């Protein structure tokens, strides 16, 4: 079995905490001994993961990106299949929040969206199998550990998946620049699927046709749009804000 190289303190620590059996070896740059690295060493030792030392120049060759002197050899990334969605929804209490990224191909954007989705309490992130970024070492590094916690679900036919989720009672809210309703005026407290399209192109036609509601993000400046990962964070945290306010407003029994 071929191994992947995952790099960065947060990404390696998250793997050791959540999926230690996938980590086969941790490599540290010579001379790294600060508290964050010591905590990582303790985690690796607890899980009986081998620790080795390497020169920074050697590590620079192994990975493309800022490795922070920490690299791990791990078994390949796991992207979930469509069946995982039913299982997740079956065991979820309360109103689920799902994020769909339609045609987001940049790994940095996917990593940032995973991080925001985890922080905002989303249940999973759904992407189409084709023409979409998937889990890579770059995505894991940008996600700062969120890629090891929140499920990334790749589906063959996004339109069909959306239909199934609608049948389960979820409402689909798509972000579109020309939409009349603001994200801040849309009720996001029920079972919700939030769809973000690719930068520039937006959602594909079929995806758009499955939306129950379309919303826009009000823009006060001269720039006409936000980076997709920033826009995703804004929308997810508006959903979280509304849900928190609704929970506080509930009469106590």
Amino acid 139: pLDDT: 86
Tell me which of 33 and 51 has the higher pLDDT.
Answer: 51
Cβ–Cβ contacts within 10 Å for residue 121, how many?
A: 16
First to last CA, the chain: 56
Counting DSSP H helices and E strands in the chain, the numbers are 9, 11
Q: What is the pTM of this model?
A: 0.79
pLDDT band, very low/low/confident/very high, at 17 (cuts 50, 70, 90): confident
What confidence score (pLDDT) does residue 222 get? 61
Average pLDDT rounded to a whole number, residues 7-25: 86
Highest mean pLDDT among 144-158, 203-217, 222-236: 203-217
Burial 173-201 (b: 16+ CB within 10 A, else e): bbbbeebeeebeebebeebbbbbbbbbee
Tokens 């590590």 sit on residue? 59
CB of 68 within 8 A of CB of 7?
Answer: yes
Between 100 and 22, where is the model more confident? 100
Residue 26: per-residue pLDDT: 92
Runs of H (alpha helix) within the chain: 9-18, 35-46, 56-62, 83-90, 107-119, 137-143, 158-167, 205-209, 228-249
Q: Which residues are annotated as a binding site for S-adenosyl-L-methionine?
A: 197, 217, 226
Please give the pLDDT value at position 253: 58
Strands 70-74 and 124-128: unpaired
Q: Which two tokens stand for residue 62?
A: 């192994």
Q: Specify the CATH number of the domain 83-249.
A: 3.40.1280.10
What is the C-alpha separation between 103 and 204, in angstroms, rounded? 8
**Angle between helix 107-119 and 228-249 (nearest 10):** 10
Residue range 105-146, pLDDT digits in tens: 999 999 999 999 999 999 999 999 988 888 887 887 788 777
Top pLDDT among 152 and 36 is at: 152
Hey, where are the domains in the chain?
4-74, 83-249
For residues 183 and 234, is the Cβ–Cβ distance under 8 A? yes
Q: Which two tokens stand for residue 114?
A: 């995973």
Average pLDDT on 33-53 reads: 88
Give the 3-state secondary structure of residue 181: strand
Run of H or E including 72: strand 70-74
Task: List the binding residues.
Answer: 197, 217, 226
Answer CATH for 4-74 from 3.30.465.10, 3.40.50.300, 3.30.1330.30, 3.10.20.30: 3.30.1330.30
**CA–CA distance from 68 to each of 36, 63, 141, 201 (Å)?**
11, 11, 10, 35
């Amino acid at each position: 079995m071929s191994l992947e190289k995952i790099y960065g303190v947060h990404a390696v620590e998250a793997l050791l905490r959540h999926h230690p059996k996938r980590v086969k070896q941790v490599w540290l740059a010579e001379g790294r001994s600060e508290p964050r690295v010591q905590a990582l060493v303790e985690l690796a030792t607890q899980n009986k993961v081998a620790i080795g030392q390497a020169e920074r120049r050697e590590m620079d060759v192994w990975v493309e990106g800022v490795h922070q002197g920490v690299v791990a050899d791990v078994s390949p990334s796991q992207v979930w299949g469509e069946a995982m969605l039913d299982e997740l929804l079956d065991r979820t209490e309360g109103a689920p929040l799902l994020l769909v990224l339609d045609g987001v191909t940049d790994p940095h954007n996917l990593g940032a969206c995973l991080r925001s989705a985890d922080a905002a309490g989303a249940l999973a992130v759904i992407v189409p199998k084709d023409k979409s970024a998937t889990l890579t070492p770059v995505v894991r590094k940008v996600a700062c550990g969120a890629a090891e916690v929140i499920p990334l679900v790749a589906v063959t036919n996004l339109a069909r998946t959306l239909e199934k989720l609608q049948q389960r009672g979820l409402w689909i809210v798509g972000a579109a620049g020309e939409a009349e309703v603001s994200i801040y005026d849309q009720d996001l407290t029920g079972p919700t699927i939030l769809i973000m399209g690719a930068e520039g192109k937006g959602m594909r036609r079929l995806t758009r046709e499955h939306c129950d509601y379309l919303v826009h993000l009000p823009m006060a400046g001269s720039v006409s749009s936000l980076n997709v990962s920033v826009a995703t964070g804004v929308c997810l945290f508006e959903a979280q804000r509304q849900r928190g306010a609704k929970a506080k407003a509930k009469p106590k029994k």
